[in-house]
Structure 1
């Protein structure tokens, strides 16, 4: 039964005792300590039926674990990679069309899980992917709500990011309720019915296209908006005065900002994925194979993941606070708030990299008790990473390209994250299941992400010098006689 990034499962030990253990989802099939299966089948309950993936004493329970690992891998990749086409859809057709696609995917997925049987267990594969894609679309369309809050834009964006990261608590609640007697079918039917909330909010609380930035006076939205020109044309007119002043999507993705942002996002995300992937072997190694200690530390890690909603807004508060303190005008770009927003992002980006370095250092310490600090740094850094990713793209690139730029960044980082599998092979082979030296190497690799805040700082300094040159021309500049 999956819950967030951990899964509880029952697997018989060598002495026939049933032991309740917990493993990271991405780690199943790569355990350092494997209990051998004998006579007790492992079950996965779907709907009102029990799906026995290990029906006989000759089949190991690793079969079920590997199936769940494959489901998690496919869903995780779909969540990141499918953000790119969804971003194009959002920028082209607006909020309402995109959200109804997401709601349809979500309802279909929850119903597939609710009515799946032993004969249709394969439905879990598309269902998990559809939930992932539907969820990221809802999240992406909700980010634009930050435009309504002016100087608090980054705080609202990071708050949504934290809520998205803590959403695993829903499946933890499903697990707890299942253990007290509720069936999965009834719970997933109830979750499917909750999609009515998304339908109502899409009709009455969100625009048909998107929220403009900045929001003009008297702007209304929802079922009966007063501004009929809201959309792509309206947004472009309020950004730079005409459409020609808005950079093209091509110029955005070939800018130095985007390249260093990809470096920043991809390296730190790869470090997080590698930590989750080597989580159980690392704990088993540090605990000398003590399954009770492994289970206790795994539960502690699962609980920390719910704190994302409390950690992420601090990143937005840092950005918004520095933006309010920055009163420098932006003459060259023609957008008074853009340069101030970029300057406010510098310290946020640098703090995120510093957290990632500290997290990598703690993860490399071969002391079991030190992993509590690693867990805390991991959830804080993950919250800052994904919240800062969305906030930086929102304040740096044109609003009309947000969906495409954000989607492309997520898709590229998803492809880079596939490097975790060669790393797993390297750990299991030459390193003999001891990831210590690889962890040490990642400390230096993560430090390369400092290139992004440095690049943004240098750009802002150049822009400030250009603004100064425009406001205060040299004294020996030629003057016109009147």
Structure 2
């Protein structure tokens, strides 16, 4: 490898993987944390006695209002997780890596300290802490995704690996739950996580660039421990990267390549990308699948309580099983990136044999079609299983959920890098997450509808959501049709 040494790059890759798996996406282990909060009597004052027909005797307390409060916290936090990626994407593009990471560390440390010192009496502070925690985590992920640029042809695999690690970090709250059951209090666990911020600071200055990692990677590129990148070096690196772009046409977005050899390549503006049909359907695809996952995680404890008929031991067992399956997201996600990288190489070989610039122009986009379709299929299977009110079947639901979610976020980031200009990645990634966050707000009214008017029977809601899931298959179909149309010689001419 040219430029920065292989050991330095591997150290950046592995520590970034550890950072994503240990910190970035812990919010999605919410079900494990809710179990602890309920044990600690958070929002228990909202529970009401459930009077039975037998005189003054009372049955189990009605804690629907408590469940709604936890669901609302998760709704707000998951909304901020996505919505804030748009402004933070601008921050990353404008102020680059070091500033973005220092902001992430501040938010994350503040959030963990707030959670550490909350109690049942100050439970409302969770509405502040959880959004801060999740925004800090997504900033860790955004700054680490560029590490894939250090490894050239394996870029999609590494991007999806990091997204899988982001999914797997939800298992952190399972570890906290198990430690809690073994006598370690919640405060000690979160203070330990806060202390780990010193490690994040060290990694920021020693193993990450001050600016962005360019793609294609210029010769003798250096960063971190070997960095020479003051402002002059940054400009030199950017210039060298631009000179290398014509040599890496296969890695550029299809629209940038369509002009063909000998024709000037017109750069695409940010807004032309945003208002393209490709971006619009990608937003629909992401929003619908993500809504399913957020609704499932946000209502998980309540759903299990109903299916287990209030047996808390059974609820704890299934909560642990769900959290354990989440850990395997880091193993599932790279298969999506590997699929895209292998297909890309295959299509490049076919294009080379044909000698057709039209085929070369759609290589990157074509490699994303099977990934998009497979993710939609996995979500459909997950949605169908989640809709069946049979407790043992939820083990299958857990497996499909973690595979589907791993493919979703890894595929989302990889698709945006392949389908649009790299200089707009931070903003496009942030905007699609922000807009999908608005759709994710539907999870709270859906939960309230199921709890209230539908009396804990979400059958009709699930049917409507399953039908909506079928709409996600339109996106891979349209991308496939676009690739076929661009591949026709007469249209290239």
Provide TM-score, normalisation by structure 2.
0.77
CA distance in 2: counterparts of 1:111 and 1:433, whole angstroms:
36
Instruction: State the match for 1:5 in structure 2.
Output: 30
Q: Which runs of 5+ in 1 are unaligned?
A: 12-19, 39-58, 471-482
Equivalent positions of 1:60-79 (< 5 A) are 67-79=69-81
CA distance in 1: counterparts of 2:447 and 2:116, whole angstroms:
34
Task: Classify the secondary structure of the residue corresponding to 1:4.
Answer: helix
CA distance in 1: counterparts of 2:390 and 2:180, whole angstroms:
35
**Which residue among 401, 420, 426 is the counterpart of 1:378?**
401
Q: 1:235 to 1:119 in 2, by over 3 A?
A: farther
Give, in angstroms, the shift of residue 448 of structure 1.
1.0
Instruction: State the match for 1:319 in structure 2.
Output: 340
Q: Which runs of 5+ in 2 are unaligned?
A: 1-26, 52-60, 248-255, 257-263
Give, in angstroms, the shift of residue 451 of structure 1.
1.1
CA distance in 1: counterparts of 2:306 and 2:121, whole angstroms:
39
Q: Which one has more relative contact order, counting CA pairs under 8 Å at least 6 apart?
A: 2
CA distance in 1: counterparts of 2:65 and 2:35, whole angstroms:
15
CA distance in 2: counterparts of 1:186 and 1:428, whole angstroms:
35
Instruction: State the match for 1:171 in structure 2.
Output: 173
Deviations 1:397-448 (A, max 9, x none): 1111111100111111110112223333443455432222332332221111
CA distance in 2: counterparts of 1:432 and 1:127, whole angstroms:
31
1:309 aligns with 2:327: no
Instruction: State the match for 2:14 in structure 1.
Output: none
1:456 aligns with 2:483: no
Q: 1:400 to 1:235 in 2, by over 3 A?
A: farther
**2:112–2:194 Cα contact (<8 Å) kept:** yes
Q: 1:113 to 1:233 in 2, by over 3 A?
A: farther
1:245 aligns with 2:269: no
**Which residue among 80, 88, 91 is the counterpart of 2:90?**
88
Give, in angstroms, the shift of residue 462 of structure 1.
2.2
Task: Classify the secondary structure of the residue corresponding to 1:131.
Answer: helix
Deviations 1:15-53 (A, max 9, x none): xxxxx799xx9xx99x9xx88499xxxxxxxxxxxxxxx
Q: 1:37 to 1:375 in 2, by over 3 A?
A: same
Instruction: State the match for 2:157 in structure 1.
Output: 155
Deviations 1:109-156 (A, max 9, x none): 223334456776554332222211111001011001111111211111
**2:174–2:320 Cα contact (<8 Å) kept:** no
Task: Classify the secondary structure of the residue corresponding to 2:222.
Answer: coil
**2:40–2:120 Cα contact (<8 Å) kept:** no
Give, in angstroms, the shift of residue 347 of structure 1.
0.6
Instruction: State the match for 2:205 in structure 1.
Output: 203
1:365 aligns with 2:388: yes
Q: Cα RMSD (Å) of the superposition?
A: 3.5
Task: Classify the secondary structure of the residue corresponding to 2:379.
Answer: helix
CA distance in 2: counterparts of 1:111 and 1:313, whole angstroms:
33
CA distance in 1: counterparts of 2:186 and 2:445, whole angstroms:
36
1:229 aligns with 2:256: no
**1:81–1:407 Cα contact (<8 Å) kept:** yes
Give, in angstroms, the shift of residue 271 of structure 1.
1.8
Instruction: State the match for 1:258 in structure 2.
Output: 279
CA distance in 1: counterparts of 2:344 and 2:208, whole angstroms:
26
Structure with the higher helix share, 1 or 2: 2
CA distance in 2: counterparts of 1:4 and 1:98, whole angstroms:
25
Q: 1:460 to 1:181 in 2, by over 3 A?
A: same
CA distance in 1: counterparts of 2:236 and 2:190, whole angstroms:
37
Instruction: State the match for 1:101 in structure 2.
Output: 103
Give, in angstroms, the shift of residue 238 of structure 1.
4.4
Q: 1:271 to 1:3 in 2, by over 3 A?
A: closer
Task: Classify the secondary structure of the residue corresponding to 2:362.
Answer: helix
Deviates more, 1:447-456 or 1:112-121: 112-121
CA distance in 2: counterparts of 1:317 and 1:175, whole angstroms:
34
**Which residue among 179, 182, 188 is the counterpart of 1:180?**
182
Give, in angstroms, the shift of residue 467 of structure 1.
8.3
Q: 1:200 to 1:290 in 2, by over 3 A?
A: closer
Give, in angstroms, the shift of residue 309 of structure 1.
1.2
- Aligned length in residues: 432
Deviates more, 1:172-181 or 1:307-316: 172-181
Instruction: State the match for 1:397 in structure 2.
Output: 420
CA distance in 2: counterparts of 1:230 and 1:193, whole angstroms:
37
Provide TM-score, normalisation by structure 1.
0.79
Instruction: State the match for 1:344 in structure 2.
Output: 367
Deviates more, 1:245-254 or 1:61-70: 61-70
1:409 aligns with 2:432: yes
**2:104–2:136 Cα contact (<8 Å) kept:** yes
Give, in angstroms, the shift of residue 74 of structure 1.
2.2
CA distance in 2: counterparts of 1:449 and 1:407, whole angstroms:
20
CA distance in 2: counterparts of 1:76 and 1:10, whole angstroms:
18
Deviates more, 1:199-208 or 1:359-368: 359-368
Task: Classify the secondary structure of the residue corresponding to 1:310.
Answer: helix
